[in-house]
């Protein structure tokens, strides 16, 4: 099974500053046949279901602000929020959909400093 590990577990960033969350998979989630990384990022606010932000490691979901970006390949990935807004306070999860059982990271709680 693929284990997803996020760092840090929690993060406090000032408004307008950059926030960076890392995600590592225990094995590669890159398919060379289609040149895609099977990695997604989700945002979950209190009392709400998760919301898809990024898929294929770096493709922004429709309607997601462009301050959110994803990067990385193989086993190492990063979610970056370029200029933190108050509404970005949430828990963020990475997830691999390369192979079943699909798995999520433990989550990173993002707060305002």
Question: 88 or 98: whose CB is closer to another protein?
Answer: 98
Question: 18 or 65: whose CB is closer to another protein?
Answer: 65
CA quadruple 51, 47, 2, 74: dihedral, nearest 10: 30
**Distance in Å, CB of 102 to another protein, minimum:** 4
Helix (H) or strand (E) holding 10: strand 10-13
Strand, helix or coil for residue 22: strand
Instruction: Give residues 78-97 in contact with another protein (rule: CB under 8 A).
Output: 93, 95, 97
> Which parts of this chain interact with another protein (CB under 8 A)?
1, 38, 40, 42, 49-52, 55-56, 61, 93, 95, 97-98, 100-107
């Amino acid at each position: 099974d693929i284990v997803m590990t996020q760092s840090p577990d929690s993060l406090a960033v000032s408004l307008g500053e950059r926030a960076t969350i890392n995600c590592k998979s225990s094995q590669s989630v890159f398919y060379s046949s289609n040149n895609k990384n099977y990695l997604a990022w989700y945002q979950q606010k209190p009392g709400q279901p998760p919301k898809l932000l990024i898929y294929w490691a770096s493709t922004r979901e429709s309607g997601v602000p462009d301050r959110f970006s994803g990067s990385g390949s193989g086993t190492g990935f990063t979610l970056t929020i370029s200029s933190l807004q108050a509404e970005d306070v949430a828990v963020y999860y990475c997830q691999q959909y390369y192979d079943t059982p699909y798995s999520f990271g433990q989550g990173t709680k993002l707060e305002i400093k």
